[in-house]
Structure 1
């Protein structure tokens, strides 16, 4: 058991290392709960300077939008968001499909799509409203040392080095987490040997607020509905083809995307700037250490299939904020153990789902083809099974944070 904190430690702020999408969301949630915090951001607090606020198009689960609404972020973002009212999933060369309709499940949307840059802008506007948060940016943590009742961080800022004492250290610093490494938490790594290309395209036909995902031997491709009849394209290619695809001109790239996706939306055109991302699964063997906790990609980086990365990370952040809101000691061992236990079903289930989809839906094994087709037919025609999967896809798995349940957009 950890020792009780001193009175001074009880008044010290929670220290969040990392100011990306999940770290910023946690900082906002703590501020809303009346908890003092310090957030160390590697980049300057400008949209163009924050690597997390990039050109990806995020598929935000319904629970995620509920949570962003609860902490006051969605009011700054909703005008740029596009509802997902239908989801259509197929497998190249096989029969059967899965189609989910929001109205059929009693909601106005299964989720929303939003450019990461727009979510970043909304987070920055909401951060400016915080009153209990101290932001150090651009800044980097030089060292972390344990103290009698927490951690002491030496942080290099533009004005010099500052020391911060905290009863709870939060690693929200991404896949290559410095905090996780300093805590000595090992990870399980899996290189999928795939590269993801993201950009925007314009389809000939209206997307009608429908999201498409199509599996194939060489990886999934997705089209996400965006504003102004644009779509967010997510194209996965084998790693050994990545350099060739990256070097393609726009016409060749569109031809590849068209071949992989098909003609369901007619001709694709006007591709935006392409961004490649190598795909790995990186999972921390533990979410917690002495007076420390990991959230978001520092805790787990999952395959982007199913678009669960930020959605899962936000549930990390909101669950932690909910537990800290009622805590006398934010770094108490019992609290952190409770956090890890509560997050386990959601975390493990989401990671298993994303990995399983890659293994089952994208493996070039002819013997699996009829089984996959039958599974799609069953899923599409068995309402109880579809309701269960729709609920999980909307972010309601395990014991979700109350913030995602309390308010509907």
Structure 2
């Protein structure tokens, strides 16, 4: 590598470190708002090189799809998406269940299922259309130095090193965020001692655009509707059982999933390639620092129960873009404090919900069974609770960014 002895320095506008799903979405939203930005990503700008553009099937809340539509991403993704028109939530061995139907709440879909890799392709296509964005990929953040009016970042790439000055540094670099560590922001960690397996399967009966989430002692299991009568399976197991589950042949794996999920969709078959993910919760103690902000998994990594991770991170990105677009100084202290305050109810509520559900709904305590069943029945049959559950499930919580409130065409 040819590294200049005196790296050139330039002003980037907003500097975003991390080009995964949330970082790329933020870059696009800023560009759409007319804000100059630089996006730094360690992976090459290809879907097969970006770790977050993987084999997961994402459950995109309605608010999320509204936001992706608003920033011009959804037109590149909608062909591969499958609408979720019904959601069924239950607990293995207990009588309660909750059902949410799109028609009952006056919408055509509660959300959509989309493979993460297809969303990644859509983001890359939209990034190619940006006119105010500088993309550095593959490139690495090698160092940060505070300045009076922002930060100076040293970026290493195959072309050498360069220094970039920015009035606002954004850490969108994932759960083990280098930016978060460099800012001195602590993070609370919780290991759930669980591993998530994702793959596709084919049920005997048509899924009818219904998503299923079922809690059990061993963790949640979910089925998400996909095209061509396929479903995305999300199976959680105890961490100590993960190696054994990974070693199962297809027939034994399907037997395990069938036992955990039940027979509501008939016999399951034709499992695709399985991908394991260790599950942990990581929550930054602060969202902002002087002229710096964390978004997405760098700010909070939540349990995948309820499929809230990317949905929450996109609301981070769209809220930040909205506030920066109306500001003379994108890194001003009062703007960042207002951003943190605005995001707090949504962030804290979503983290509490996901953590509480996995702690309560999956605890193997028989004394909790009647209470859990009654709670599910209440959510199913008490209209105010049903409306609140549906609204939150569709991603409308707290003070959402205006982009997610726009109607789909």
Q: TM-score range by the shorter chain?
A: over 0.9
- 1:386 aligns with 386
Q: What do the CA deviations read for 1:161-199 (whole angstroms, capped 9, x no partner)?
A: 111100000000000000000000000101110000000
Does residue 71 (structure 1) correspond to residue 71 (structure 2)? The answer is yes
Q: CA deviation at 1:407?
A: 3.0
Q: What do the CA deviations read for 1:286-323 (whole angstroms, capped 9, x no partner)?
A: 00000000000000000000000000000000000000
The answer as to whether partners of 2:59 and 2:114 remain within 8 angstroms in 1 is yes
- 1:19 aligns with 19
**3-state SS, counterpart of residue 88 of structure 1:** strand
The 1-side partners of 2:327 and 2:230 are apart by: 46
5+ residue gaps, structure 2, are: 1-8
Counterparts of residues 127-166 of structure 1 (less than 5 Å) = 127-166=127-166
**3-state SS, counterpart of residue 54 of structure 1:** coil
**3-state SS, counterpart of residue 369 of structure 2:** helix
- 1:98 aligns with 98
The 1-side partners of 2:365 and 2:28 are apart by: 46
Counterparts of residues 205-244 of structure 1 (less than 5 Å) = 205-244=205-244
**3-state SS, counterpart of residue 286 of structure 1:** coil
**3-state SS, counterpart of residue 48 of structure 2:** helix
Q: CA deviation at 1:56?
A: 0.1
- 1:200 aligns with 200
The answer as to whether partners of 1:200 and 1:232 remain within 8 angstroms in 2 is yes
Give me the TM-score of the superposition, normalised by structure 1: 0.97
The 2-side partners of 1:231 and 1:354 are apart by: 23
**3-state SS, counterpart of residue 282 of structure 2:** strand
**3-state SS, counterpart of residue 15 of structure 1:** strand
The 1-side partners of 2:246 and 2:41 are apart by: 30
The 1-side partners of 2:336 and 2:200 are apart by: 41
The answer as to whether partners of 2:82 and 2:227 remain within 8 angstroms in 1 is yes
- 1:58 aligns with 58
The answer as to whether partners of 2:10 and 2:163 remain within 8 angstroms in 1 is no
The 1-side partners of 2:131 and 2:293 are apart by: 24
The 2-side partners of 1:211 and 1:189 are apart by: 30
Does residue 111 (structure 1) correspond to residue 111 (structure 2)? The answer is yes
C-alpha RMSD over aligned residues: 1.1
**3-state SS, counterpart of residue 368 of structure 1:** helix
The 2-side partners of 1:219 and 1:173 are apart by: 28
The 2-side partners of 1:245 and 1:255 are apart by: 11
The 2-side partners of 1:142 and 1:286 are apart by: 23
The 2-side partners of 1:163 and 1:152 are apart by: 6
Q: CA deviation at 1:251?
A: 1.0
Q: What do the CA deviations read for 1:34-75 (whole angstroms, capped 9, x no partner)?
A: 000000011000010000100000000000000000000000
The 2-side partners of 1:280 and 1:354 are apart by: 12
- 1:34 aligns with 34
- 2:87 aligns with 87
5+ residue gaps, structure 1, are: 1-8
**3-state SS, counterpart of residue 165 of structure 1:** strand
Q: What do the CA deviations read for 1:363-396 (whole angstroms, capped 9, x no partner)?
A: 0001000111111111111011100111011000
Aligned pair count reads 401
- 1:4 aligns with none
The 2-side partners of 1:389 and 1:74 are apart by: 25
**3-state SS, counterpart of residue 129 of structure 2:** coil
**3-state SS, counterpart of residue 193 of structure 2:** strand
Q: CA deviation at 1:408?
A: 2.0
- 1:304 aligns with 304
Runs of 4+ off more than 3 Å: 9-12
Q: CA deviation at 1:10?
A: 12
Does residue 250 (structure 1) correspond to residue 250 (structure 2)? The answer is yes
- 1:6 aligns with none
The answer as to whether partners of 1:10 and 1:167 remain within 8 angstroms in 2 is no
- 1:349 aligns with 349
| Bigger mean CA deviation after superposition, 266-275 or 313-322 | 266-275
The 2-side partners of 1:320 and 1:378 are apart by: 36
Q: CA deviation at 1:11?
A: 6.6
Give me the TM-score of the superposition, normalised by structure 2: 0.97
The 2-side partners of 1:10 and 1:367 are apart by: 63
The 2-side partners of 1:371 and 1:62 are apart by: 30
The 2-side partners of 1:274 and 1:12 are apart by: 41
The 1-side partners of 2:305 and 2:176 are apart by: 20
The 1-side partners of 2:235 and 2:251 are apart by: 15
- 1:326 aligns with 326
Does residue 181 (structure 1) correspond to residue 181 (structure 2)? The answer is yes
Q: What do the CA deviations read for 1:102-159 (whole angstroms, capped 9, x no partner)?
A: 0001100000000000000000000000000000000100001101111011111111
The 1-side partners of 2:388 and 2:256 are apart by: 35
Q: What do the CA deviations read for 1:303-350 (whole angstroms, capped 9, x no partner)?
A: 000000000000000000000001111100000000000000000000
